[in-house]
Amino acid sequence: MVFKKIILGCFFVLSGCGFSPLYYSSQEGEVQTEQVLVAPIADYNGYMLKQRIENTLNPKSVSGPKNYILEVQLDSPLLSDQSIQGDNFASRKKISLTAHYKLIDKKTSKVVLTSSTTALGAFNVFYEPYTTYQAEKSQTEDLVQIVANNISLRIAAYLKQKEVESESKTSSN
């Protein structure tokens, strides 16, 4: 009973503060993220990143005009030893993956958003090289997904902000 009151209270607080969800199910308030064209990204990790960004920004594969171009430069994963045993064998490695991106307005050819994002992870190092390779590969794939989510969320937030600004200009005129 108390839990229901807390949830109901949170609902009223959020509805009164001007909060609006970034992704909205109705056509009227939906962020038009499918208007972003993702340029090809080098290497296999870049290919995976491009696919995941496209799947996040345009999950229904809606075709239409592309008003923005997203250019991403994905750095090579950086590995460093994290846990070194007495026999100088690293039993754990840290991995970081950084992507630099910019969103370009096709009409004006101006860069409207530029930033970078980094994802960090770690994996165990085993005496069997194949097992270590698989652990590193799996961790890298997870980091690519995190980077894709970060980029997609920032782009969606930018487009939502742009939409709100244009609505406020039209309503004030």
User: 134-161, pLDDT tens digit by residue?
Assistant: 999 999 999 999 999 999 999 999 988 8
| Domain at 32-172: CATH code | 3.30.160.150
Residues contacting 39, CB < 8 A, separation 6+: 69, 70, 71, 72
Predicted local confidence at residue 50, as pLDDT: 95
**12 vs 118, which has greater pLDDT?**
118
Residues contacting 139, CB < 8 A, separation 6+: 95, 121, 122, 123
Mean pLDDT of 56-80: 88
pTM: 0.78
Q: Where are the domains of the chain?
A: 32-172
Under the banding of pLDDT at 50, 70 and 90, the label for residue 61 is confident
Triad 163, 165, 166: Cα angle to 5°: 65
**73 vs 167, which has greater pLDDT?**
73
How far apart are the C-alpha atoms of 142 and 150, rounded to whole Å? 13
Predicted local confidence at residue 84, as pLDDT: 74
**24 vs 92, which has greater pLDDT?**
92
